[in-house]
């Protein structure tokens, strides 16, 4: 089920200049990253009742890192996607105060896309050891078949 | 070998101590319960379950590396895990053996192209038996253990042959 | 009498090599005596780049990676990837394939829950139920092996349908299995759940209430135990679940005992669905006409399934080429593991092991 775009616009009007649109994914809201936490808490507190952060992940679009927050409302059985774009090597501000489920996914996203995590209780690396490149960036190659053949 | 005759009409058998120890060793290969990934379900859980039941071969699960003879590396070893694998191997008492179970532990398997994955656990610890498969069936692991028993048996003979040559 | 005195806190490392952390999870626990004061989850010992490699694999090859992500329930991982690809391609799946997906999904669910049940008992100090659980699991693996050729990495569900019809041998085995499974589950329940020691260990420990469950993004049985009746199979039907009858068990307290009861009931419901699937299996093809190399139009989709551990979702971003532009795997275990940091403090160290078992996590999913 898709939430009503005009209602979403009204909810977010007090917080930020949000671009609300519909794509193949569903209703997608694009906000500046600085307003991400405020937008999420507005959506959570509104009548729409987006009480759960289902997922948080990054995408390397080629020019910047796009962070997607997927929210779900159980009361109305609706989902909404909040997206914000960050330049490479920028600071990812934590939203764990709004949704505690962001704790580990944020660490993972920051680490694998080479972002700095701010406002997080434990911003240490989660998956890899020190010195490993941000592996999910498109510019980081995987091993070629020739490399792995010789081991 | 000589000890087999114990069950027959002979009541006394003569055997070299090292042969006796190797006989005991290869029939009580206690493995370190150390499942890394998918192979752990097949290699450590199904094998201790009722159908495959490795207990009957003397292959038994131990939780501490200090009580284990064999380390089954069951899964993908990545750069973060490699240190731990080496540490566990160093904690095991001699003599010790390593079974690289599955494609990942042998070569990196389906994940070999990912830069964070170590291309085979033999880059970290010496491996005695490689068991192919993704994941190997418990029967394959069983065959791997039989190969390991053969290897231990051969080691005794090779040691003796080497000593003979020196003399 | 020894009066109260200042005790030093002790930091204990549980894992990555620990028989009860279900793989290579590492917990750094700060203890005051036997009580846990603080706990930190450290993951990454199985990080092997399923998401990154997915960007370099064709759409048909994603199932291979997904099998190894959630290795206890490969069918569900494959199904999520296949559903996402089908959404991008806008392909209609033949009815028989949809029913077979549900059928094998439920077979796999029982097999996965049997591992959970066996190891949960091990975590609380019991051993016998593990052997009985493996008996059931082996029977189900025989069925899955008969249709897919593999015991664990099935690669059975592909975009467009499934690779093979159910074999007569598998059907026979399933029918035999279904004759006994309800009694067996009652026996399992009596063996482990009927044990007073077990009940004393799990009742009232590790309570996850509704707010905590929602804020930590829990899904599946963990969320249902805290009283949120959300099941992807019922609320966003995929495969044949829209046409099947089943109940969604819900807990009331949200403690480890509730999670145990809900999962046991899920197995009964799964058996019920398998029965319906076998009886109502439609005739027809099992695979839609779909090219070997697919190039879906550019777009972004999310598909989710109810895996034994919760909502398993796949985000696929396509740029029109034969490989996904971004392949993201929403792992239910990643969210379940972070709730441990919340529920472990205040419990005893021995309960920590039991609570790790009670939320049913899988390291392959956490690290991906």
Q: What is the pLDDT of residue B10?
A: 60
- State both tokens at C304: 């989710």
Measure the CA–CA gap between C168 and C154, rounded to whole angstroms. Answer: 18
| Residue showing tokens 């994603």 | C62
Domains delineated in chain C: 10-366 (1.10.645.10)
The string of pLDDT tens digits covering residues C171-224 is: 888 899 999 888 999 999 998 888 888 888 888 888 888 888 888 888 888 888
Q: Which chains touch A (3 or more CB pairs under 8 A)?
A: B, C
Reported as a single tens digit per residue, the pLDDT across C222-259 is 888 888 888 888 888 888 888 888 888 888 888 889 88
Q: Using pLDDT thresholds of 50, 70 and 90, give the confidence band for residue B8.
A: low
Residue indicated by tokens 């997608």: A28
Closest approach of chain C CAs to the CA of A134, in angstroms?
Answer: 11
Mean pLDDT value of segment C276-292:
87
Distance of residue C299 Cα from the nearest chain A Cα, in angstroms: 6
- CB of C342 closer than 8 Å to CB of C325: no
Please give the average pLDDT of every successive group of 10 residues along chain A, which has 151 residues: 77 76 84 85 84 89 89 86 88 88 89 88 85 86 84 74
ipTM value: 0.87
- Contact criterion met (CB < 8 Å) for B113 and A143: yes
Considering only the beta carbons, identify the residue of C44, C235, C300 that sits closest to A23: C300
Identify which of C19, C49, C68 has the shortest CB distance to residue B38: C68
**CB proximity list for C13: less than 8 A, separation 6 or greater:** C26, C27, C28, C29
- What does the alpha-carbon distance between residue C84 and residue C301 come to, in Å, rounded to a whole number? 6
pLDDT over 60 at C268, yes or no = yes
Angle (CA) C55-C56-C59 rounded to 5° is: 75
User: Taking all residues of chain B, what is their mean pLDDT, rounded to a whole number?
Assistant: 84
pLDDT interval class at B40 (50, 70, 90): confident
Looking up tokens 């020196």 gives B166
| A94 to chain B, closest Cα gap in Å | 25
Phi-psi region of A110 (alpha: psi -120 to 50; beta: other; left: phi over 0): alpha
Helix (H) or strand (E) holding B129: strand B129-131
Return the closest-CA partner of residue B74 out of B31, B112, B113, B29.
Answer: B31
Distance from CA of C191 to the nearest CA of A (A): 35
Name which of B79, B80, B112 is nearest A148 (Cβ-Cβ). B112
Interface mutation vs chain A, best among C48, C326, C340, most A CBs within 10 Å = C326
- Among chain B residues, the shortest Cα distance to A151 is held by B119
Q: What is the pLDDT of residue B5?
A: 53
* Under 8 Å between Cβ of C318 and C297: yes
Distances (CA, A) of C92 to B51, C158, C160, C288, C337: 41, 13, 7, 7, 36
| Chain C residues close to A126, C-beta within 8 Å | 42-44
- What is the residue whose two structure tokens read 């066996």? C118
Are the Cβ atoms of B114 and A135 closer than 8 angstroms?
yes
CA distance B21 to chain C (A): 29
Q: What pairing do the DSSP bridges indicate for beta strands C35-42 and C157-158?
A: unpaired
pLDDT at B6: 54
Closest CA to C72 of C177, C164, C165, C154: C154
Interchain CB contact of C44 with B (< 8 Å): yes
Chain A residues with CB-CB distance to B119 below 8 A: 148, 151
What is the full DSSP assignment across C50-77? HHHHHTTS-GGGHHHHHHHHSTT-HHHH
Chain B residue closest to C67 (CA)?
A: B38
Judging contacts by C-beta atoms under 8 Å, the chain A residues touching residue C342 are 100
Side-by-side strand order, sheet with C299-307: C299-307, C310-318, C326-330
Query: Taking CB atoms and an 8 Å cutoff, what residues of chain B touch A132?
Result: 79, 115-116
Q: What is the mean pLDDT of the segment spanning B129-143?
A: 89
- CA–CA dist B149, B63 (Å, integer): 22
Residues of C in contact with B90 (CB under 8 A): none
Task: Check CB contact under 8 Å for B119 and A148.
Answer: yes
CATH of domain A5-150: 3.30.460.80
CA distance B34 to chain A (A): 19
Token pair, residue C11, equals 């930091």
CB contact under 8 A, B113 and A132: no
A68, A100, A105 ranked by CB distance to C334: nearest: A105
Distance CA C88, CA C110 (A): 30
Q: A128: distance to nearest CA of chain C, Å?
A: 6
pLDDT for position C340: 87
Handedness of CA C12, C16, C22, C28 (dihedral sign): positive
B85 backbone dihedrals φ, ψ, rounded to 5°: -60, -45
B135, C153: Cβ pair inside 8 Å?
yes
Q: Which of A40, A55, A57, A83 should be substituted to probe chain C, the one whose Cβ sees the most C Cβ atoms within 10 Å?
A: A55
Q: What is the dihedral of CA C71, C201, C126, C221, to 10 degrees?
A: -20
Partner C contacted by A91 (CB < 8 A): no
For residue B117, give the nearest of C48, C68, C72 by CB distance: C48
pLDDT of residue B4: 54
Q: Cα–Cα–Cα angle for C155, C357, C83, nearest 5°?
A: 30
Residues 110-149 of B with CB under 8 A from C: 110-111, 113-117, 134-135, 137
Cα angle at B21 between B70 and B9, to 5 degrees? 125
Which helix (H) or strand (E) element contains residue A55? strand A50-60
Mean pLDDT for B43-65 is 84
- By DSSP bridging, strand B30-32 and strand B60-62 are parallel
Q: Does C299 sit within 8 Å of A142, measured CB to CB?
A: no
pLDDT for the residue numbered B7: 59
- Per-residue pLDDT band at B130 (split at 50, 70, 90): very high
Residue pair A58/A108 in contact by the 8 Å Cβ criterion: no
How many Å apart are CA C193 and CA B129, to the nearest integer?
41
Q: Do A128 and B116 touch (CB under 8 A)?
A: yes
In this predicted structure, the answer to whether residue C78 has a pLDDT above a threshold of 60 is: yes
Percent of chain C scoring above 90 in pLDDT: 10
Q: In chain A, which residue's Cα lies nearest the Cα of C54?
A: A136
Q: Which of C109, C117, C44 is nearest to C77 (CA)?
A: C109
In chain B, what percentage of residues exceed pLDDT 70? Answer: 93
Q: Residue B1: pLDDT above 60? A: no
Rounded to an integer, what distance in angstroms lies between the CA atom of residue C331 and that of residue C360? 12
Buried b (16+ CB within 10 A) or exposed e, C332-357: bbbbbbbbbbebbeebeeebbbbbbb
Q: What are C300's strand-pairing partners?
A: C317
Residue A127 Cα, gap to closest chain C Cα (Å):
4
Contacts of B40 in chain C (CB under 8 A): 23
The single-letter DSSP state of residue B42 is I
Dist. CA B128–CA B100, nearest whole Å: 8
Q: How far is A61 from chain C (nearest CA, A)?
A: 9
Distance CA B108, CA B112 (A): 4
> Which pair of tokens denotes residue A131?
């010195």
- Considering only CB atoms, which chain C residues are within 8 Å of A53? 217
Smallest Cβ–Cβ distance between C334 and the set A24, A52, A104 belongs to A104
Task: Provide mean pLDDT across the span B66-83.
Answer: 88
Q: How many beta-carbon contacts under 8 Å exist across B and C? A: 99
Closest A-chain CA to B120: A151
């Amino acid at each position: 089920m898709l939430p009503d775009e005009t209602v979403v616009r009204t909810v977010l009007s007090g917080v930020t200049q949000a671009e609300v649109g519909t794509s193949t994914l569903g209703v997608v809201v694009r906000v500046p990253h600085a307003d991400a936490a405020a937008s999420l808490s507005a959506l959570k507190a509104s009548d729409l009742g987006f009480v759960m952060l289902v997922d948080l992940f990054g995408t390397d679009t080629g020019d910047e890192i796009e962070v997607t927050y997927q929210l779900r409302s159980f009361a109305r059985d609706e989902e909404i996607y909040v997206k914000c774009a960050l330049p490479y090597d920028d600071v990812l501000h934590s939203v764990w105060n709004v949704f505690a489920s962001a704790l580990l996914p944020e660490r993972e996203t920051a680490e694998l896309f080479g972002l700095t995590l701010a406002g997080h209780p434990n911003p240490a690396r989660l998956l890899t050891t020190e010195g490993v490149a941000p592996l999910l960036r498109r510019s980081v190659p995987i091993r070629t078949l020739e490399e792995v053949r010789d081991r | 070998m000589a000890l087999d005759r114990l069950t027959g009409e002979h009541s006394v058998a003569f055997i070299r101590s090292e042969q006796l120890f190797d006989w005991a060793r290869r029939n009580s290969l206690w493995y370190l319960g150390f499942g890394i990934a998918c192979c752990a379900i097949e290699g450590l859980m199904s094998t201790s379950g009722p159908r495959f039941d490795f207990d009957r071969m003397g292959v038994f699960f131990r939780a501490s590396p200090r009580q284990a003879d064999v380390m089954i590396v069951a899964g993908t070893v990545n750069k973060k895990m490699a240190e731990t694998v080496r540490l566990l191997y160093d904690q095991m008492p001699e003599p010790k053996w390593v079974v690289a179970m599955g494609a990942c532990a042998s070569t990196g398997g389906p994940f070999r192209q990912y830069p964070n994955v170590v291309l085979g656990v033999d880059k970290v610890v010496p491996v005695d038996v490689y068991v192919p498969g993704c994941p190997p069936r418990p029967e394959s692991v069983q065959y791997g253990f039989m190969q390991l028993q053969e290897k231990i048996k051969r080691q005794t003979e090779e040691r003796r042959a080497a000593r003979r040559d020196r003399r | 009498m020894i009066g109260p005195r200042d005790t030093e806190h002790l930091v204990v490392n549980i894992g990555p090599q620990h028989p009860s952390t279900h793989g290579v999870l590492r917990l750094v626990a700060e203890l005051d005596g036997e009580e846990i004061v603080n706990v930190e989850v450290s993951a990454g010992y199985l990080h092997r780049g399923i998401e990154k490699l997915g960007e370099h694999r064709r759409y048909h090859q994603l199932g291979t990676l997904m099998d190894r992500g959630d290795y206890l329930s490969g069918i569900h991982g494959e199904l999520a990837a296949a559903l996402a690809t089908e959404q991008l391609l806008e392909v209609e799946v033949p009815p028989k394939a949809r029913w077979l997906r549900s059928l094998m999904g439920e077979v796999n669910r029982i097999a996965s829950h049997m591992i959970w049940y066996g190891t949960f008992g091990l975590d609380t100090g019991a051993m016998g139920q593990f052997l009985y659980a493996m008996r059931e699991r082996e029977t189900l693996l025989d069925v899955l092996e008969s249709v897919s050729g593999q015991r664990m990495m099935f690669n059975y569900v592909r975009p467009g349908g499934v690779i093979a019809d159910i074999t007569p041998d598998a059907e026979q085995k399933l029918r035999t299995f279904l004759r006994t499974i309800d009694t067996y589950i009652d026996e399992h329940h009596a063996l482990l759940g009927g044990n007073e020691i077990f009940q004393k260990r799990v009742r009232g420990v590790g309570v996850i209430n509704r707010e905590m469950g929602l804020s930590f993004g829990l899904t599946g049985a963990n969320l249902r135990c805290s009283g949120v009746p959300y099941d992807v199979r019922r609320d966003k039907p995929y495969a044949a679940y829209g046409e099947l009858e089943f109940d969604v068990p819900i807990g009331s307290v949200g403690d480890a005992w509730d999670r145990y009861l809900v999962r046991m009931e899920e197995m009964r419901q799964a058996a019920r669905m398998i029965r319906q699937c076998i009886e109502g299996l439609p005739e027809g093809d099992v695979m839609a006409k779909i090219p070997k190399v697919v190039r879906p139009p550019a777009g972004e989709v999310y598909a989710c399934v109810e895996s034994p551990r919760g909502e398993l979702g796949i985000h696929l971003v396509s740029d029109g080429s034969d490989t996904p532009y971004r392949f993201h795997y929403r792992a239910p275990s990643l969210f379940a593991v972070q709730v441990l940091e919340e529920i472990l403090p205040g419990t005893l160290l021995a309960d920590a092991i039991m609570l790790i078992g009670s939320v049913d996590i899988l390291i392959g999913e956490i690290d991906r």
